[in-house]
Structure 1
């Protein structure tokens, strides 16, 4: 799935978590975080620390890849689970 906005990242994280049938509290516990931190990652992803994003992706078995779009200098961000 190609992501174009921070909100797309939050939605992908939420969908990946729900695909595992985990609550925000369950994911937070597995990550050693608070539920409010997972909620913030899903609802305010523009404030996400890259290290936290990578930790959440790893726990959810989400692959995150960044590349360029053809000959443009614009970045391309994709996530798959």
Structure 2
């Protein structure tokens, strides 16, 4: 289920609920599991929760990337400064 978009949240909506299908869905990477009939409110709540989690994950990845960029730049600046004084 990851495919080309590994950060995309996956919501399974099924009319054939069972413990086995829930376990399979989770093992295949489902982030949420809903059973029909589902109320529009519950569906909206689940979608909102998953979008918030996705946003948090993206923000964390962006923060890590920025830290790596800063660390790399600081290392290169230090190296240039060291070479300047040699």
Question: TM-score with structure 2 length normalisation?
Answer: 0.23
Structure (1/2) with the larger strand percentage: 1
Higher relative contact order (CA 8 A, sep 6+): 1
Structure (1/2) with the larger helix percentage: 2
Question: TM-score with structure 1 length normalisation?
Answer: 0.24
